[in-house]
A and B are shown apart, each in its own frame.
Chain A
């Protein structure tokens, strides 16, 4: 009996760690195509790429169920994909097409999807804090056992709303997890120039359970997130994760010349030494879970799925102009 359970757990664990690799790779390849669409002038507006931070979204979202809630940010593609959004409808939204998640009305910074519990990406820094906390309030009031995760960048630590929501969440023991993605930069400014004191202490001051995690280690993120999710589901209140990570690319796709705010060596260090996908791939091989050929076939499978998704979006029609006045009111 014991052996069987252990074996089953081992199989589940294998499936999980391989799925996390796949999900991270999906985000990476999605984002590379976003950049490509932008450089080929096929995408209106800008996009904020998540490349380098994949372990954060994947580690956290793999700790959630489909009906759990998330709120996302301007740098939100990774969260949406990790929570289960389909790449074709995401690309369609990025291109302003009718088949997109928001019928083309939201774009890159506003992807929302009730089917996967995605309450929406938000282009106001800190803008998801109220919504995520309110979703946790509903879950508690209605007794649904859902948990809500609020993703935000460390730049949002400058927004008062975050602290108002953390205060309410802890007072009322709401099942919400504040997931702070510290990629070191608020746009073009290092966080040391914007953030006084200790980031974690901002949560612990409210009595909120808080933990700093290596955001490049998907298994560490998953473990920490799972523990907080379990606590929250059990009614023990909110958690705060400080996920230390790095964005490889510019603040947005057009931010190419970056030397005035960060050094090339710094970027090189993170990409060559701290890449979440490479690190996790090496671990999978060392564990004997998959071999290199196995990883390669995952990559090529996802690459062709993403290519098909891009093709779908490029060929999809724009909304009819008559739709401009629809969906203002429910």
Chain B
């Protein structure tokens, strides 16, 4: 049987997310979107633009400025038959909903011995360099990754964002989904029309290589790919691995890549200390120790509150040049 031709378009990261939400909402009337200015405004970032026209204000619901309030309401709604998606405009505001996410959503299933489920998605943004200063620029994905009971998604491409969002919505557990703000409009890529899903806990090798593994998350995948192109010019073949979900974590792919290349750098936009880079580096170190040429290295955001002034802010975020230099040193070139 000839396969029906699937149209593949170039979409932005934001468009891919909107398409996933729209397709899922058409499929399942139990899905509701809750958040500040999500309806007519389509969020501050316009990611949800148009959804209210199709689904109405009973399903695309503007809330008061009450992150704990609508997130907590989402937990109860998820337990009782709906599949809510709550919108945390800036990931920095996750601090306000920590009790609802960490003490309620993440624990309901376990504490009740499996009696209740919380099929809910918390969408949150991340990423610096928008000149928004310390309270609108953080990448806090390490926080929920630390909490058993939550799943954490951190896509880097439009294709991944659409497939992973569908998986998040269909998952019966609370999922925190991190969207890079700059990528919304800046990152474009091929996205098939219609339905497809991407399983959690499966890393994607964004570029094959032999000499060094660059593990990147979210927008740091682009940074890793940029560095890999620079490295190629001096004869170093870099492999770029994107875990796509920080929990569940595809340890196998990370370890196998590092075993193959014998070197690894982990790049993530979260604050450098006690974060995602530390966890992934130790997974690789433990799993690939005897095949490694040296210690796993890592690059994260400088351990300071994100500053406003452009040269200061830019100095906090990992760059292609930094990755390139570190990789070159590790490869003795």
Chain B residue nearest to A107 (CB atoms) is B111
Chain A residue nearest to B172 (CB atoms) is A330
11 further contact pairs, Cβ within 8 A, besides A110-B111, A134-B80, A329-B149: A101-B115, A112-B108, A129-B72, A130-B74, A133-B72, A134-B77, A148-B76, A161-B100, A164-B70, A330-B117, A330-B118
For residues 171 through 199 of chain B, which have their beta carbon under 8 Å from a beta carbon of chain A?
172-173
CA distance A2 to B32 in the complex (A): 48
Min CB distance A103 to B, Å, is 3
Contacting chain B: which of A113-121, A224-232, A277-285, A288-296? A113-121
CA distance A151 to B127 in the complex (A): 40
Chain A, interface residues (CB within 8 Å), range:
35 or more
CA distance A18 to B115 in the complex (A): 32
- Point out residues on B near A: beta carbons under 8 Å: 32, 58, 63-64, 66, 68-82, 84, 99-100, 103-104, 108-119, 148-149, 151, 172-173
A residues in contact with B112, CB < 8 Å: 101-102, 105-106, 110, 112, 120
Question: Is there an interface contact between A161 and B109, defined as CB atoms closer than 8 Å?
Answer: no
Instruction: Sort A-B residue pairs by CB-CB distance and give the 6 closest, nearest first.
Output: A130-B72, A134-B76, A164-B69, A103-B113, A102-B113, A131-B76
Contacting chain B: which of A38-46, A137-145, A215-223? A137-145
B residues in contact with A124, CB < 8 Å: 99, 103-104
Min CB distance B35 to A, Å, is 13
A327 at the interface (CB under 8 A from B): yes
Chain A residue nearest to B78 (CB atoms) is A134
CA distance A141 to B71 in the complex (A): 17
Min CB distance A37 to B, Å, is 20
Known A-B contacts A119-B79, A164-B68, A327-B109; the reply to A137 vs B114 at CB < 8 A is no
B residues in contact with A100, CB < 8 Å: 113
CA distance A129 to B118 in the complex (A): 16
A52 at the interface (CB under 8 A from B): no
Known A-B contacts A112-B115, A138-B82; the reply to A327 vs B110 at CB < 8 A is yes
A sample of 27 inter-chain contacts (CB < 8 A) reads A101-B115, A114-B115, A120-B108, A122-B104, A127-B99, A127-B103, A130-B68, A130-B69, A130-B104, A131-B72, A131-B79, A137-B73, A137-B82, A138-B82, A148-B76, A161-B72, A161-B100, A164-B64, A164-B66, A164-B68, A165-B69, A168-B63, A168-B66, A171-B64, A327-B113, A330-B109, A330-B172
